[in-house]
Amino acid sequence: FDSGNLPKVAKDLHEKYPHKPIIIAGDDDHHLESTLGKNLGKEKALEAASLVDGVAVFPVFAPSERDSKKLNDFNDLANKSMLGIEAVKRQIGSVVEKISQQAKQDSLLKLQVPIEPKQQEIKQKRALVR
């Protein structure tokens, strides 16, 4: 797949795995902005992520590499950048960790038993008396 069919692929994956978070590792085609006026890789990744309530993540290169036309995706970050595979692990890993923490928090919120209004009123009165 490429940026052109990325939204369709994201939808298909979401239909097959509806309870799994979708992370789109997008291309940052920053070099095309000057010629085409848009960053197609970034736009399509963001579009795909929004269609499936997912997250789009883009590679961050070393400052000296940011203007390169040859570095725009995670494969380039792993194989051509001075930052290497460790940067890919850190960048993707941080997104996975955030999503994992959010999922845990959401699960805990679902487990909480709502307090009836009368019980809440009693607890508040007890707190005032103390």
pLDDT band at 4 (very low <50, low <70, confident <90, very high): confident
Q: Domain segments of the chain: what residues?
A: 6-129
pTM, two decimals, is: 0.77
Q: What percentage of the chain reaches a pLDDT higher than 90? A: 62
CA 42 – CA 63 distance, rounded (Å): 19
CB 39 within 8 A of CB 31: no
pLDDT band at 21 (very low <50, low <70, confident <90, very high): very high
- Predicted local distance difference test score (pLDDT) of residue 129: 55
Instruction: Give helix 6-16 / helix 40-51 axis angle, nearest 10°.
Output: 20
- Predicted local distance difference test score (pLDDT) of residue 64: 95
Name residues whose C-beta falls within 8 Å of residue 29's C-beta, 6 or more positions apart in sequence: 39, 40, 41, 42, 72
pLDDT digits (tens, 9 = 90+) for 85-128: 999 999 999 999 999 888 888 777 777 666 566 666 655 655 66
